[in-house]
């Protein structure tokens, strides 16, 4: 394999630079919200207009992450040689991210964390039931559990796609592992990661205190539609 940097069109080069900066910055949000420890967890972002994505390097401290050491990969998880960061190994979850991008073209960002309460639900192999309105808003129902899968190949990615394809939730709890979230872009996927830990904690505490009260499905549907299609929009945007 050649170590020479490939030549991309100017617009793709510009898009890569934007995604590198965004992905590097968003890792700081995982730290800020207490979703990761040490070097665990990762954010990736699809490069618009190209069959490429950007992901963090493996085993690098969050304090040392920068746009220039993010790693550019093709949609099979192969590092693009000769590009900044290509001398490092990409995240151990790279194959999983790549599988999601290949099979869910609407996805522009993928996040994995080891956030405490979400991992606790994953350790039990139990979905998080939709019993609070914020969860209906954001996820449109329960947060499902994906199958147990070994890290290193695309098994985790297969489990993510099989579980989330056709599902409203943008989060899946991979059994015995932890949460993965998807989004329209990396920021959207990070938001989902923050929210899944928030609801995992709240529902856990509620269940410890007593029985949970289900939200009727019709109300879940209404809440989800309002939040996704009306909330935060101007009157003109609703027309």
- If we measure between CA atoms, which residue out of 77, 82, 119, 121 comes closest to residue 102? 77
Tens of pLDDT along the chain (239 residues) come to 456 778 999 999 999 999 999 999 999 999 999 999 999 999 999 999 999 999 999 999 999 999 999 999 999 999 999 999 999 999 999 999 999 999 999 999 999 999 999 999 999 999 999 999 999 999 999 999 999 999 888 999 999 999 999 999 999 999 999 999 999 999 999 999 999 999 999 999 999 999 999 999 999 999 999 999 998 664 444 33
Instruction: Answer yes or no: 114 catalytic.
Output: yes
3-state secondary structure at position 171: strand
Does 97 participate in catalysis according to the annotation?
A: no
Specify the pLDDT at position 239.
33
pLDDT of res. 234: 43
Q: Has 76 been annotated as catalytic?
A: no
- Give buried/exposed letters for 113-140 (b at 16+ CB in 10 A, else e): bbbebbbebbeeeebbbbbbeebbbbbb
**Strands, E assignment, 58-157:** 71-74, 109-112, 145-146
pLDDT at 31: 97
Is 231 part of the annotated catalytic residue set? yes
d(CA 42, CA 147): 20
* Beta-bridge mates of residue 45: 54, 109
Residue 153 has a pLDDT of 87
**Active site residue: 97, 112, 154, 198, which one?**
112
Catalytic residue among 76, 87, 153, 231: 231
Per-residue exposure over 185-216, b if at least 16 CB sit within 10 Å of its own CB, e if not: bbbbbbbbbbbbbbbbbbbbeeeeeeeeeebe
Q: Cα angle vertex 128, ends 40, 220, to 5°?
A: 125
Q: Which of 74, 137, 185, 221 is catalytic?
A: 137
CA end-to-end span of the chain: 53
**Rounded to a whole number, what is the largest CA-CA distance in the chain?**
61
Element (H, E) at 42: strand 42-46
pLDDT of amino acid 34: 97
DSSP helix/strand/coil, 146: strand
Catalytic-role residue among 33, 62, 74, 114: 114
Whole-number Å distance between alpha carbons of 219 and 4: 56
- Residue of 93, 97, 154, 177 marked catalytic: 177
């Amino acid at each position: 394999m050649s170590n020479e940097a490939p030549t991309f069109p100017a617009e793709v080069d510009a898009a890569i630079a934007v995604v590198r900066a965004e992905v590097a910055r968003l890792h700081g949000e995982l730290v800020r919200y207490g979703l990761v420890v040490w070097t665990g967890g990762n954010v990736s972002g699809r490069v618009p207009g190209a069959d490429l994505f950007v992901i963090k390097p493996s085993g690098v401290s969050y304090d040392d992450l920068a746009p220039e050491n993010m790693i550019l990969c093709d949609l099979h998880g192969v590092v693009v040689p000769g590009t900044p960061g290509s001398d490092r190994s990409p995240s151990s979850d790279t194959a999983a991210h790549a599988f999601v991008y290949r099979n869910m073209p609407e996805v522009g960002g993928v996040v994995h964390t080891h956030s405490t309460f979400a991992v606790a639900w994953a350790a039990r192999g139990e979905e998080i039931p939709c019993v609070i309105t914020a969860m209906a808003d954001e996820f449109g129902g329960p947060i499902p559990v994906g199958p147990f899968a070994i890290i290193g190949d695309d098994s985790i990615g297969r489990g993510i796609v099989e579980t989330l394809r056709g599902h409203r939730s943008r989060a899946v709890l991979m059994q015995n592992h932890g949460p993965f979230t998807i989004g329209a872009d990396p920021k959207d996927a990070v938001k989902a990661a923050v929210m899944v830990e928030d609801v995992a904690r709240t529902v856990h505490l509620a269940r410890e205190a007593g029985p949970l009260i289900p939200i009727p499905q019709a109300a879940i549907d209404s809440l989800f539609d309002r939040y996704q299609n009306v909330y935060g929009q101007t009157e003109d945007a609703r027309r």
